[in-house]
Amino acid sequence: MVTQQARSNSVQVIVLLAHGFKEGSAIYCLVRLREAGINASLVGISAGLISGSHGISVRPD
C-alpha cells in the first residue's frame, strides 16, 4: 500500500516568482507544500534576487 507521504514525495512543484509578487502568498504556499512533504522550489523568471510588492527580495532556489 502506498501512503500519502510516499505519493507526495514523487511530486515536484515550482512556485514561480516575478518582480512584484505577493511575498506572504508565495512563502505561505511554499511552506505549506514543504510541510506536506512535497518537493517544492522557488523559481524566478529572471536570475538573481526577485523583489516582492512590499520591497522584500527573495533569492530563488
Q: What is the pLDDT of residue 10?
A: 81
Looking at the structure of the chain, the number of domains it has is 1
Give residue 42's domain range.
Answer: 4-58
Question: Is the predicted pLDDT of residue 2 greater than 50, yes or no?
Answer: no
11 band by pLDDT with thresholds 50, 70 and 90:
confident
For cell 514523487, the residue is 10
* Confidence band, pLDDT 50/70/90 cuts, at residue 4: low
CA 17 vs. chain centroid, Å, equals 8
**Which alpha helices (H) appear in 1-61, and where do they start and end?**
4-9, 23-35
| Model pTM score | 0.76
* Interatomic CA distance for residues 51 and 48, integer angstroms: 10
Rounded-to-integer distance, Cα 38 and Cα 40, Å: 6
φ and ψ at residue 37, rounded to 5 degrees: 85, 15
**Structure confidence by residue, pLDDT tens digits, 23-58:** 999 999 999 999 999 999 999 999 999 999 999 999
